[in-house]
Structure 1
């Protein structure tokens, strides 16, 4: 990916301590419960090797079975309960920070835009997934 790729930022503040937010963001049994941008999609499979050089894959699928794809990458940096960085298969990079506010945690994702879809669509999709994550953590 070219160094001049546009960065997109999405964020949410979860009403939960950072340890719980970190666990539910990274545990496959939780990822399959929150990783979808809308009600008609789900994540039937997730695996996560959370370490530098480790890989992750999440299958994202339409609930009606009409379409699915694997979303994944390779971790370049992990700082427990603070930061995650990874590169997607297409070379785009993602940085995620977890800000501990003593009972609340802000999750900020910054990722390289891809060229196929409008930036607004990409931002809205990633934000919807992050909003689902917030709901999942606060209800579990």
Structure 2
């Protein structure tokens, strides 16, 4: 498992809502400014599906992320299985006035572990910036 995490200066309910809102996901789900997220779908319930696309703004490449939710505890925990079978766990913890997110995921085999960790951390950092800017 690879772990990335951050603390966000916002209440847990607000962080949860921004994490799971398709409109918000399209605003923050990218690792760098030359990428964007043109589509996002969320059916946040056990057995529900999610899908988002992260694409280079120049159209040169894109990645589709999709899967099925396996556990949902509002404002606390989301577990899901990606379409390729990898498991992901996202914890939301109240930390005073802030919210801590701890995201764990199984690595894929096509890219180095450090590259995957850095990419997921960059997306999480972008999420933090998005929430704190509101």
Matches of 1:113 and 1:64, distance apart in 2: 27
Runs of 4+ aligned residues of structure 1 deviating over 4 Å after TM superposition are none
Number of residue pairs the alignment of both structures matches: 134
Which residue of the partner structure matches residue 4 of structure 1? none
Q: Residue 114 of structure 1 aligns with which residue?
A: 108
1:77 shift after superposition = 0.2
Matched, 1:94 2:88: yes
In structure 2, runs of 5+ residues without a counterpart are none
Q: Match of 1:126, SS?
A: helix
Q: Give 1:101 deviation, angstroms.
A: 1.6
5+ unaligned residues in a row in structure 1: which ranges? 1-6
RMSD: 0.6
Structure 1 match to 2:132: 138
Q: C-alpha distance in 2, partners of 1:119/1:37?
A: 16
TM-score norm. by structure 2 comes to 0.98
Q: Aligned partners of 2:96 and 2:52: how far apart in 1?
A: 30
Paired with 1:84 and 1:69, the residues of 2 have a C-alpha distance of 21
Match of residue 61 from structure 1: 55
Task: Establish whether residue 19 from structure 1 lines up as the match of residue 20 from structure 2.
Answer: no
